[in-house]
Amino acid sequence: MPEGKIKRLTDKGFGFIDTGSNKDLFFHMSSLEGVRYDDLREGQTVSYVEGQGPKGPRAEQVQLI
């Protein structure tokens, strides 16, 4: 599974992962596994699966490492 760092979190239940390339990947709190959204902090490393949402690419199966 690819890894990245949480770049930004919002108070609306979604955030963005810095994938190490030129694009950040959107994720929603419903895509988290084994962690609550409120326990996430910017800069933490996560693994994820890249999927496709209604508005474009998004991270799914997001887990803390």
Q: What is the CATH number of the domain that holds 47?
A: 2.40.50.140
The structure's pTM equals: 0.93
5-60 residue pLDDT tens: 999 999 999 999 999 998 899 999 999 999 999 999 999 999 999 999 999 999 99
Domain count, the chain: 1
Q: What's the pLDDT at 56? A: 93
pLDDT for position 27: 98
Residues 6+ positions from 18 with CB-CB distance below 8 Å: 4, 5, 6, 7, 24
Q: What is the pLDDT of residue 2?
A: 95
Q: What is the pLDDT of residue 48?
A: 98
Res 26: pLDDT = 97
> What is the domain range of residue 14?
3-64
Which residue, chain included where needed, has tokens 């979190």?
Answer: 9
